[in-house]
Amino acid sequence: MKNIVALISGRGSNMIAIAQACLSQGWPARIAAVISNRPQAAGLAAARALGLQVEVEDSTGRPDREAYDADLARRIEAHAPDLVLLAGYMRILTPRFVERFAGRLVNIHPSLLPAFPGLHTHRRALEAGVKAHGATVHLVTAELDSGPIIAQAVVPVLPGDDEDTLSGRVLDAEHRLYPLAVRWMVEDRLEVDRAGVRLREPAPGEAQLLLPEQRGAQ
């Protein structure tokens, strides 16, 4: 049984999607704790409603990032985590923290990396005029949004889209993609080397996640 620790800063919708999949699909894993840097994060109430243990490592008034991340790391380590998931965690992690959890620290980013790293991805995608956008699950490295890619979900950019409609479509895809990628890790189905990340013996439909309207067009 693997232990998963999820870090959140806000509503934690990806954390909820992962927790619900873990509980309903009978993964060989459990959500050991949900930890937020914000005491008022809405995701804490959602986690409690699912019966999960919640904790807060308040970042308010903590300008020393190294000291804060050391305290956060100790709190995480108390749960003997096999995976540490960033699920809307809105702080840039220090290199020492990333190194401590290397290989088991995972993030989801709302773009098709390496396109549009950082913030305001939907606005930038619309300004660039791309026809496809999406989300990426990746291992975390010290360089922002640049770790090995585990999985991606492609979302079409439709005529008339604005930031709200596009972000909503991407978020729906995230809620399918992130649990899928975490399940692969829980089941030890990923191989990681210098060439990237590979999925062992992918079943039909597992190689990439497609939206229903795209499946029908294949």
Active site residue ranges: 109
Bridge-partner residues for 190, per DSSP? Answer: 199
Q: Of 210, 202, 181, which Cα lies nearest the Cα of 27?
A: 181
- Tokens 């079943």 locate to 203
Pair type for strands 196-199 and 190-193:
antiparallel
60-84 b/e with 16+ CB inside 10 Å = b?
eeeeeeeebbeebbeebeebebbbb
Query: Distance between CA 218 and CA 209 in Å, rounded?
Result: 13
Q: Which residues contact 36 (CB under 8 A, 6 or more apart)?
A: 7, 8, 9, 12, 43, 44, 54, 55, 56, 57
Element (H, E) at 134: strand 132-139
Q: Of 17, 59, 36, 11, which Cα lies nearest the Cα of 178?
A: 17
Q: How far is CA 76 from the centre of its chain?
A: 17
What does the DSSP 8-state code read for residue 209? B
Amino acid at 214: Q
